[in-house]
Amino acid sequence: MDDIKKIVKIFHGPQHPGITGNMSVELDLIGETIQRAQTHVGYLHRGFEKLIERRTVVQGFTIVCRICVPEPDPNEENYARAVETLAGLEISEKAKYIRTMVLEMSRIAVQFMWMGGQAGSMGLGLIPQWSVCDRDYMLDLFEELTGGRVYHMYAFPGGVRRDIPEGFLGRLSKLLDYYEKRMTVYDNTFFDNTTFKARAIGVGIVKKEEALKNGYVGQTLRACGIERDVRKDMPYLMYDKLEFDIPTREEGDVYARAMVRRDEIFQSIRILRQIIEQMPSEGDILQKIPKHRKFTLPKNDVYIQTESARGAMSYYMAGDGSEKIRRMQVKGPSLIHGFTLLEKMLVGSELADVAMIMNSLGICPPEIER
Amino acid sequence: MIEKLRSLSIEIEQKNEHLYKVSVDFQDLESTLLRFLNEFNYITLDSINYRDDIEDEKFCITYCLQTAKRDHVIMIQTFINREEATLPTMHRIWPQAEIMEREMHEMLGVDFPGHPTLIDFALEYWDDIPPLRRDFDTLKYVEGMDPFRKNQRDDNLDVKVEMKRIRAEKKAAKLKEEEAAAAEKENNEEPNNG
């Protein structure tokens, strides 16, 4: 019997198909049950925040999109909005609509990518093949709009870099129709899947009372019944003019988080349909901004939040009167979810559930290390 | 909530519709954070932000707090000396402060007495200046750590010197061309003279 109780230490990642990027979780196991979990990062530290300090405002813009690979747009939005707030730039209504549209398109693309990861983590191999393919249709539109499929570099301080191509909104509308129909297939094969329900219900539970105090965000918060979303609580861009609901669940487990994400796809489609209808045909897309070397930020600081597809993402930015940014600090959902929450949540879980729990928390390692 | 704070004669700077700032002395930091948590229900610690104001020999530390409604952010800002930088740990009150403080310890070199896990965060066995201090030179560090770049990169050229050299080369080439053209012209003219 003593042999069975022996503690075995294993590293889940950084080379592991069930890890959500370049990070590692050190696990102490007795049998299949986790006794202690410790997150290790540092495999992807590229020093973005330090790099920004050496660059001008315009040069910094090409760095921020790389902070989270599957989701560059909220980073671009935060960076652009922080610079605009410090520099006192006001952007046009059309630019605001376009940026809102890009954020919602990005949200759908991220949720399809997540669907692949979440299903793959429990052996449902067909779903990733479908959902990654469906995400690609959105990337096609991103390529048409911005010139880039993954990194867009589109939301620029003062507006956006390019106008919408002719017929773009029609093609977006057509894709939304396709996604709506397609969701029925995902409901049948994934969200109502018996295996998924058996594995995910009652696993990785977040308690409501600790969720707010510990600073959890996004679906982690909404899946335990707390209706918080930056788009509603502190509206930015055009969100106060658009109608949408915040999906919530009460259970707080992996399945509840998945269902919240599913419902959010429909809300994003709803928002995008309104944008397509309301998009102004006329208007500046980019305000006149100072030339590259003369674009200075005053000695001041600001704190900006954007609701990414995984939760609130915050930027602290400080200027010092020069053309370089004194300090830019990124705080995405992953820092707290990957350490404070994950290390605690994994204790008592089964080894086979680690990948599934990690996926449900939306952890993106480059965002932790910056 | 903001009106309530103002009525208690707490000096609040409104930065925009959803952002407010309160500046406090370092000695009052912990009591202010606890007061905002217990009296005014700012229950969420969203982030701890830091920057190096090297000219003033200070670090600027900003705690961002939110209420359960999360409809605004309040920044509690303080300055500490760069030398012997120490802050009280808040991990017993907000568990998420543990990782934020651990990061700040590694990146800025701030000490947190009583913190349980001030171990490596993203860097391994780091013994240089904490990298997010302004006096840490990224370029010098990169050039120094790479065995193939001990004597700087092969392509690391001084732009001004290079521009001067290119201009001089162009000028010399142009002069040579003109001389050759003049000599050719002279040669062509010679038979006519004979």
- Contact B99/A335, CB-based, under 8 Å? yes
The domain in which residue A83 lies consists of: 8-369
Structural domain contains residue A220: yes
- For residue A368, what is the nearest residue in chain B, using CA coordinates? B122
Nearest residue to B64 via CA among B94, B109, B92: B94
Percentage of chain A exceeding pLDDT 70 = 99
**Which CATH number do you get for residue A15?**
1.10.645.10
CA A44, CA A38: separation in Å to the nearest integer? 17
Closest residue, chain B, to A335 (C-alpha): B99
Q: Which residue has the tokens 């019997």?
A: A1
Location of structure tokens 């543990």: B98
How many independent structural domains does chain A possess? 1
CB A132 within 8 Å of CB A112: yes
- Tell me whether residues A303 and B122 touch, CB distance under 8 A: no
- Read off the pLDDT of each residue in A139-165 and give the average, rounded to a whole number: 90
Q: Is residue A2 part of a domain?
A: no
B47·A327 Cβ contact <8 A: no
Q: Is the pLDDT of residue A133 over 90?
A: yes
Q: Is A85 on the interface with B (CB under 8 A)?
A: yes
* CA of A82 vs chain B CAs: smallest distance (Å): 12
Chain B environment of A45 (Cβ under 8 Å): 122-123
- β-sheet with A33-40: strand ranges across: A7-12, A24-30, A33-40
What's the half-sphere exposure (Cβ side, CA atoms, 13 Å) at A290?
A: 15
Distance CA B180, CA B55 (A): 59
Is A108:A179 a contact under the CB 8 Å cutoff?
A: yes
Q: Do A303 and B120 touch (CB under 8 A)?
A: no
Q: What's the topology of domain B2-141?
A: Beta Polymerase; domain 2 (3.30.460)
Per-residue pLDDT of A15-54, as tens digits, reads 777 777 788 889 999 888 899 998 988 888 888 888 888 8
Q: Cβ distance A252 to A205 under 8 Å?
A: yes
Average pLDDT (B139-165) is 75
Min mean pLDDT across A168-182, A281-295, B12-26 is at A281-295
Interval A234-250 mean pLDDT: 91
Mean pLDDT of B82-99: 89
Using the Cβ of A340 and the Cβ atoms of chain B, whether some distance falls under 8 Å is answered with yes
A221-230, B71-80, B144-153: range with lowest mean pLDDT: B144-153
The verdict on residue A329 lying in a domain is yes
What pLDDT, on the 0 to 100 scale, is given for residue B174? 95
Q: Over the stretch B38-69, which tens digit does the pLDDT of each residue have?
A: 888 888 899 999 999 999 999 999 999 998 88
CA A41-A66-A317 angle, to 5 degrees, is: 90
- pLDDT score for B194: 46
Residue A3 lies in a domain: no
Q: Does A331 touch chain B if contact means CB atoms closer than 8 Å?
A: yes
- Structure confidence at residue A66 (pLDDT): 87
The beta strands (E) that lie in chain A are given as 7-12, 24-30, 33-40, 155-156, 159-160, 300-308, 311-319, 325-331
How many residues are present in chain B? Answer: 194
pLDDT at B82 exceeding the cut of 50: yes
Map out the domains of chain B as residue ranges. Answer: 2-141
- Percentage above 90 pLDDT, chain B: 34
Q: By C-alpha distance, which of B125, B131, B55, B104 is closest to A54?
A: B131
Q: Using an 8 Å CB-CB cutoff, list chain B residues near A84.
A: none
Tens of pLDDT, residue by residue over A256-272, are 999 999 999 999 999 99
Q: Mean pLDDT across chain A, nearest whole number?
A: 89
